[in-house]
A and B are shown apart, each in its own frame.
Chain A
Amino acid sequence: MKKISLLFCFFLAVGAFAQTSSDSIVSPIVAKKNEIKIDVLNLISNGRVGISYERFLKHDFSVGVTGMFLNKASKEDDFPTDDTRTLIDYQVIPYVRYALSKSAANLYYVEAFSSINGGQYKELTTLNNGAADYVVTTVKDYNDVAIGASIGYKFYIKESFVVDLTLGMGKNLFHADSPETLSRIGINVGYRF
């Protein structure tokens, strides 16, 4: 029994040492569990403000949420007369990510996401003024939910500042007049803490 206790203590010590050794080579990035980012690509090119929060649950697994909102009045103003059928006003995108790379500082990942999105769409409406029919373009609101997947790459500078590139596609599920597909493309820069 004493021998068994000694053997147990030995393996416990070896395990503890191994754990210590492992921790000693782990990047300090891993100890930081939270990350906030802003999407500079959509901000510059599309007038959309996109802010993300990501929480790291394990070394290779994280969850997050992105809020993206249209912040360009000219797009809203032009929409009734331009040649696009839909205009996305907002998206709330919860996601889960799995890191494909071992490195914490420089990694590829895959992502599954959902997008709760809403905006406007156009359709032709026939009206009647008592004498004849005529057709006008009308703008209506929609709300929908999409699911999709993405791939991405991110790297850290000074173990805190992150650059995160995401490329993905989703499909709206419920509303017949919402955009059939949603793309998820972003270049995010942010801070991990």
Chain B
Amino acid sequence: MKKYIQFFAIAILFTLFTGCTESDDEFFASKVVTANGLIAVNLSGNTVAVSTAIPRLLPQTGGNPFDLYLTTTSNQFFFNYTLEKKNANNVWELVAPSGYNVVTSSGSNQFGDYIAAICQLDALETTYEYDTTIAPIATGDYRLTVDNEVVSIDSKNAVTVIIKTTAVGDTTNNVLEFTVN
């Protein structure tokens, strides 16, 4: 009886390690490219405009253009940015979506701690576009920080593209600080 108990204990251990019988090296179908200055951030009064116009045929330094759509088969790319407000203790706090007004003319947004900016491929399938203005409601000091990656969404059975980029316009190192009076 003891022998069988030992056997079943060993069998359970083997079963737990079943996954090891398969090759466990992972494959990430992703391609990283670099294209600086794809995100524009501009301040006008109390309103910040965040926009992109990413060409589907992305120019590459010293090489052929890179076809984002053919690689990803995706109509959308996204990047994240945050809006923070300095509190009474001079500490930056994330601003809830109820704390600002948004007007979107191209693409769309998903709101959470981050604002996920979704760039939409236009009807001619030539440009991934996003254009949104954000106007904080309350007065105070604000900071808008833009991530330096634009990533394809839902690249089913295809390759995910990550575009390393920078923000241009009124930002310094992808950060814009401004005051709403």
Please tell me the size bucket of the interface on A: 35 or more
Q: Which residues of chain B in 118-153 are interfacial with respect to chain A, using CB atoms and an 8 Å cutoff? A: none
Is A84 an interface residue when CB atoms closer than 8 A count as contact?
yes
Decide if A185 touches B17 in the complex (CB within 8 Å).
yes
* Contacting residues, chain B, for A42 (C-beta < 8 A): 21
B57 partner, pick from A88, A132, A137, beta carbons under 8 A: A132
Please tell me the size bucket of the interface on B: 20 to 34
Residues of B within 8 A of A (CB): 3, 7, 10-11, 14-15, 17-18, 20-29, 31, 57, 60, 63-67, 70-71, 156-159, 161
B64 partner, pick from A81, A133, A182, beta carbons under 8 A: A133
Give bound CA distance, A48 to B24, whole Å. Answer: 16
* Contacting residues, chain B, for A64 (C-beta < 8 A): none
Decide if A134 touches B67 in the complex (CB within 8 Å).
yes
**Per-residue contact bits, chain A 72-112, to B (CB 8 Å; 1 contact, 0 not):** 00000000110111111000000000000000001000000
Is A122 an interface residue when CB atoms closer than 8 A count as contact?
yes
Q: Which residue among A128, A129, A179, A183 has the maximum number of chain B CB atoms within 10 Å of its CB?
A: A183
* Contacting residues, chain A, for B161 (C-beta < 8 A): 135
* Contacting residues, chain A, for B26 (C-beta < 8 A): 83-85
Give bound CA distance, A186 to B18, whole Å. Answer: 9
Decide if A41 touches B15 in the complex (CB within 8 Å).
yes
